[in-house]
A = this chain, B = another copy of it.
Amino acid sequence: MRFADRAYEMQFSPIRKFNPIAIKAKEMGKKVYHLNIGQPDVETPDCFMDAIKAYNDEVIRYAESGGVTELQDAVSAYYKQYGMDYGRDDMIVTNGGSEALTMTFLSLINPGEEIIMAEPFYTNYHTFLTSAGGKIAPVTTKAENGFSYATREQIEPLINEKTRAISCISPGNPTGNVLTLDEMRLICEIAKEHDIFVIADEVYREFAYDDRELTSFGMLPEYADRVIIIDSVSKRYSACGARIGLVISKNKDFMSMIMKMAQARLCVSTVDQVGSAGLFKLPASYYEKVKAEYCGRRDVVYEEMMKIPGVICQKPGGSFYMTVKLPVDSVEDFLVFMLEEFDDNGETVMFAPAEGFYATPGLGKDEIRIAYVLNQKEMKRGAELIRLGIEAYNKKLGK
């Protein structure tokens, strides 16, 4: 029996598809350090479960399709602290950032149309965009250039009559690239000139390190009509299992299209919304603490990776990912080796092969994404295991 063309085009998540092999490794008694998935070990703030435990409605009812007003108002206040003005009508709560992106693409993209996006990019964009029949026109970026892409020279040649939006993840997954406000302004200016949208995935907003400022496309009100912000509680509040995301925009026609889909799927989890309202009310000190934690982890993992001969990477400016070129021909083969054959004192490590993060065929075969989501000691050990694994792997191959 045959399926829809798009279903064949979709791929299994390169972040998750090696899980069955990892499960076998664990069943054999190995400890596996999971650097493959953006699941932090940071505690979810207590206010999340506290609010849920205090919820005492006898019926777990449908919420409003656009979201629970208490959550919307908390999000509004959160944006206000950064000088951005988004009210209830400017936002729709979604089942995670994932649904926010899927609905956005379904609203904007006809089959065969395109978005421009820097590669490597968060791999699941492939699937979200394929749902709408769209394609990514990639700006290929490299560690050697800091994964930068926000120039006219890189973006404009990709624009054609099929282009519907420029899509940016900042701070970047999987590169850690953080756009400056000037770069964001340039991207908006290009979008305006060509009358297309800007889709701004800012789920790592607070995680901009060193002297980098916290930036948002929402800080450019002169372009507000064409900016669509994707947000989520998953990373900011270490609440990945609370599937609470947001589509935020001042474009009323766009929000009206999203609302049609939001009404059809009725609503988002009532208890997750109740819990998340508290998260958006956390004080600035919470973000400072978490940011310092990830920044420290980044320093450790970067230092360790630089000890490996032949590795190419750049110290990431934000988010909690790092894209690293390894001195092996196929990181997928290397990963299978790490899970099936390698161990050091009964321990091994898992990472995400980067090939699935590219739109251009053939790129990323020797690159991995590391998520620095474990504590410093574990990140150090994880990086060390990669180093020891490369030695053992290349020795096995006779290199």
Residues of A within 8 A of B (CB): 1, 3-7, 10-13, 16-17, 37, 39-44, 48-49, 52-53, 55, 58-63, 65, 95-96, 98-99, 102, 106-111, 113, 124, 126-128, 131-133, 195, 197, 225-226, 238-243, 251, 253-254, 257, 259-261, 263-272, 275
Q: Which residues on B sit within 8 Å (CB–CB) of A63?
A: 241
A–B pairs, 19, beta carbons within 8 Å: A3-B108, A3-B257, A5-B110, A6-B106, A6-B110, A7-B106, A7-B108, A10-B260, A13-B260, A39-B59, A44-B58, A98-B265, A126-B264, A127-B260, A127-B261, A241-B269, A242-B269, A243-B267, A271-B271
Q: Which residues on B sit within 8 Å (CB–CB) of A55?
A: 49
Given contacts A1-B251, A107-B7, contact A269 B257 (CB under 8 A): no
Given contacts A10-B260, A95-B95, contact A58 B43 (CB under 8 A): yes
Given contacts A44-B58, A58-B44, contact A269 B243 (CB under 8 A): yes
Given contacts A10-B261, A60-B241, A240-B266, contact A109 B251 (CB under 8 A): no
Q: Which of B10, B254, B264 contacts A124 (CB 8 A)?
A: B264
CA distance A293 to B336 in the complex (A): 56
Asked whether B59 lies within 8 Å of A260 as measured between CB atoms, the reply is no
Q: How far is the CB of A253 from chain B (nearest CB, A)?
A: 7
CA distance A1 to B17 in the complex (A): 39
Q: How far is the CB of A241 from chain B (nearest CB, A)?
A: 3
Q: How far is the CB of A257 from chain B (nearest CB, A)?
A: 4
Q: Which of B110, B225, B264, B267 contacts A128 (CB 8 A)?
A: B264
Asked whether A107 lies within 8 Å of B3 as measured between CB atoms, the reply is yes
Instruction: Give the interface centre of A42, A60, A61, A99 by most chain B CB atoms within 10 Å.
Output: A60
Q: How far is the CB of A134 from chain B (nearest CB, A)?
A: 9
Asked whether B265 lies within 8 Å of A102 as measured between CB atoms, the reply is yes
CA distance A39 to B65 in the complex (A): 13
Given contacts A110-B4, A268-B243, contact A59 B238 (CB under 8 A): yes
Instruction: Give the interface centre of A52, A59, A111 by most chain B CB atoms within 10 Å.
Output: A59
Q: Which residues on B sit within 8 Å (CB–CB) of A127?
A: 260-261, 263-264
**Chain B minimum-CB-distance residue to A127:** B264
Asked whether A62 lies within 8 Å of B3 as measured between CB atoms, the reply is no
CA distance A62 to B41 in the complex (A): 11
Q: Which residues on B sit within 8 Å (CB–CB) of A44?
A: 58-60
**Chain B minimum-CB-distance residue to A62:** B240
Asked whether A59 lies within 8 Å of B37 as measured between CB atoms, the reply is no
Asked whether B263 lies within 8 Å of A12 as measured between CB atoms, the reply is yes
Q: How far is the CB of A367 from chain B (nearest CB, A)?
A: 20
Q: How far is the CB of A113 from chain B (nearest CB, A)?
A: 8
Q: How far is the CB of A9 from chain B (nearest CB, A)?
A: 9
Q: Which residues on B sit within 8 Å (CB–CB) of A132?
A: 4
Given contacts A61-B241, A243-B268, 8 further A-B contacts (CB under 8 A): A1-B254, A4-B108, A60-B238, A95-B99, A95-B268, A98-B265, A241-B267, A242-B270
Asked whether B271 lies within 8 Å of A242 as measured between CB atoms, the reply is yes
